[in-house]
Amino acid sequence: MLKKGENYELRTELNSEYRERRKEAVRRVIANMTIGKDVSDLFTDVLKNMQTDDLEIKKLIYLYLMSYAREKPDLVILAINTFVRDSEDNNPLLRALAIRTMGCLHVFEILDYIREPLLRCLRDNDAYVRKTAVVCVAKIYELSKEAADEHGLIDIVIDMLSDSNALVVANAVSSLREINDIAIANGQTRPVWLISDSSVVQLLKVLNDNTEWGQISILEALVDYTPTKPRAIKICDAALPRLQHANSGVVLAAIRLLLEYERFIEDQEIISKYNKKLIPPLISLLSTTPEIQYVALRSISLVLKKHPLLLSKELSLFFLKYNDPDYIKFEKLDLLVKLCTENNVEKLLSELSEYSKEVDSSVCRRAVSAIEKLALKFGDSAEKCLDVLIEIIELKGIYAVQQSAIAVCNISRTYTHLGNGKIAGVVVPALYNVYDLIESDPNSKASLIFLIGEFQSVDQDIAYELLERLEPDLLSEEDSVQLAIIHASVSFFLKNPSRAQQLVLKIIQGAFENCSSMDVRDVSFMYWRLLSSNPEIAKQIVLAKKPSIDCFTGTEITEKELEEYLAKLGNVSSVVQILPHKFLPKSGQTPGSAVAGSDSSDMFDHSTLEEQTDGQKHSMQVDDEPELLISF
């Protein structure tokens, strides 16, 4: 709220007998409103200043009315006569301003008075007034569908698709598409307007003469059209010049149209020709500002899911630049993995090796993770990837070493022959030598511990020394590290029962007696019972081959989702890759209620937490259990 003194001062100035003082007061009111101060108490005082020939003041007052009309719907009626008079003014700018403001007031009290001015402006001689009035129809439909139908406003807008002015046609398309969205959001099963063959001819005719935003509206409308094959080719040919437009929105709208019409053309030779045309505009988008680059990279990612080899020869264009923001670097790294083929994997490995030396820990880790993904994607090149990881470990960069340990662990799960070979013989000793760098990261430490317990060919002295080193600090470790120590100690014991008897006993006993984590206690207790009852079954279970790691699991989208994202290419849903219904409010909801309401579970997956009573908790005593077998 404004201070009482300031409020009084503004009211006094608004009622001043001097025109300049009133003008300055209106400016101050709008300035206060813009920075979030409540100036609704001055509503009637501002209205008194509407009777003016100054267009600047008119604009400011109309802006004020649009902001506070919903709070003072009964007082808005006082401005009706001025609106109607302005809609008949000789100045087309003032006529358009009046009808636009009336449409944006969004109060039911205005509906009885807007009919005549709106119908008059829809048939105005000036194209600027007509295009403004066309947009106003969508606002009226949103406020009251019955009022729009009663006055035949939608039919008038449909007729205006054949208007002689290109901007009017584009605004008519935008208005009709907005009306469709409102109707569907309100539960209507069919759209109000369907694009016809005659409308398509007119839209293509005015496409070149429109502004960039008009072109986007027309291209988006054409995406919803269902053409025959010849007409689809004709529309695509008309859209091709838009690929070279300076506005990225126009380019993405044209790409969206070409991709959508592939299903109507079906001729692979023609589709291939159009796909080749997509390459230059996609590349040119990477020379824009970082924000546009991000949208372009996310869009390219979706296009590549449909056409994986489209940019396979343009790998170097996605190499990181020193001045790229982190979010651009992350997207580029993901795309490099998708674009990589067997033919250029060595080139990319060399590049990723350089990125692993980055000072930025996030980029460094992502680069090493990308090497891991290449190994899992191309089995024949897995050993080359492993060689690069060995070189990275030898450089002793802390973040690179930590992520390399995780990467090697995942690779060993997929390629067992490498696990028992180069990983056990070369990588594990190299990681053990830099254990002081790994020690601070729980995931990296758990990965190294897994490796020493999993593979028989690991140097047994290294394995024993590490487990012995970890045992005294077991309780202070993270849960993931505690579990890894227990698993590794049991595996090591089953392979070397005579040497590791006392060590595994101390680890398991200490875990289920003293660990605070119920998961850790349960696992250690399970191993205790398993080793004490049947050693052969224990070997079969513990030393069984582990399932492979798929680093791409959870990142893939379904065919249906891909179609929806491509149909919305460049929109928010395709950039964040979340379907619109998961983050847009339903009909009748405010954006806040869509998140805070009972349907918020549609947006996020929440883990189910089960409460456990004291009676359900394990109460274990070592003395009550059978002793661990001495030998197997």
pLDDT tens-digit series, residues 273-322: 999 999 899 888 888 899 999 999 999 999 988 888 888 888 898 999 98
Tell me the one-letter amino acid at 495. K
State which H helix or E strand residue 108 sits in: none
State which H helix or E strand residue 199 sits in: helix 197-206
Using alpha carbons, select from 365, 381, 382 the residue that is nearest to residue 419.
382
Residue 189 pLDDT class (50, 70, 90 cuts): confident
The answer to whether the CB of 308 falls within 8 A of the CB of 338 is: yes
pLDDT for 168? 93
Q: Over 80: is that where the pLDDT of 323 sits?
A: yes
Residue 595 pLDDT class (50, 70, 90 cuts): very low
- Identify the burial level of 270 via C-beta atoms within 10 angstroms of its C-beta, where 0-12 means exposed, 13-18 middle and 19 or more buried: middle
Q: CA 433, CA 247: separation in Å to the nearest integer?
A: 54
Where b means 16+ CB within 10 Å and e means fewer, 355-379 reads: bbebeeeebbbbbbbbbbbbbbbee
What proportion of the chain, given as a percentage, has pLDDT over 90? 35
Hey, what are 418's tokens?
Answer: 């490498």
Using alpha carbons, select from 408, 400, 407, 410 the residue that is nearest to residue 427.
408
Residue 553 pLDDT class (50, 70, 90 cuts): low
Query: Averaging pLDDT over each range in 15-29, 62-76, 425-439, 545-559, which range is the top one?
Result: 425-439
Q: CA 341, CA 76: separation in Å to the nearest integer?
A: 66
The Cα-based distances of 287 to 217, 324, 474, 620 in angstroms read 25, 11, 52, 65
The answer to whether the CB of 192 falls within 8 A of the CB of 154 is: yes
Residue 277: how many other CB atoms lie within 10 Å: 16
Q: Give the three-class secondary structure for 343.
A: coil
The answer to whether the CB of 574 falls within 8 A of the CB of 562 is: no
Q: CA 317, CA 146: separation in Å to the nearest integer?
A: 54
345 or 1, which is more confident?
A: 345
Mean pLDDT of the chain: 84
The answer to whether the CB of 563 falls within 8 A of the CB of 303 is: no
Q: CA 455, CA 450: separation in Å to the nearest integer?
A: 9
Write the pLDDT tens digit of every residue in 506-545. Answer: 888 888 888 888 888 888 888 888 888 877 888 888 888 7
627 or 407, which is more confident?
A: 407
What's the N-to-C CA distance of the chain in angstroms?
82
pLDDT for 555? 62
DSSP single-letter state for residue 307: S
Using alpha carbons, select from 492, 497, 436 the residue that is nearest to residue 468.
492
Residue 5 pLDDT class (50, 70, 90 cuts): low
Q: CA 446, CA 440: separation in Å to the nearest integer?
A: 11
pLDDT for 1? 47
Residue 108 pLDDT class (50, 70, 90 cuts): confident
Tell me the one-letter amino acid at 235. I
pLDDT for 27? 87
pLDDT for 596? 38
Residue 591 pLDDT class (50, 70, 90 cuts): very low
Q: CA 194, CA 204: separation in Å to the nearest integer?
A: 16
Using alpha carbons, select from 160, 142, 138, 141 the residue that is nearest to residue 150.
141
pLDDT for 622? 36
Contacts of 560 (CB under 8 A, 6+ apart): none
What DSSP assignment string belongs to 239-272? HGGGGG-SSHHHHHHHHHHHHHTHHHH--HHHHH
Residue 586 pLDDT class (50, 70, 90 cuts): low
Q: Over 70: is that where the pLDDT of 34 sits?
A: yes
The answer to whether the CB of 286 falls within 8 A of the CB of 293 is: yes
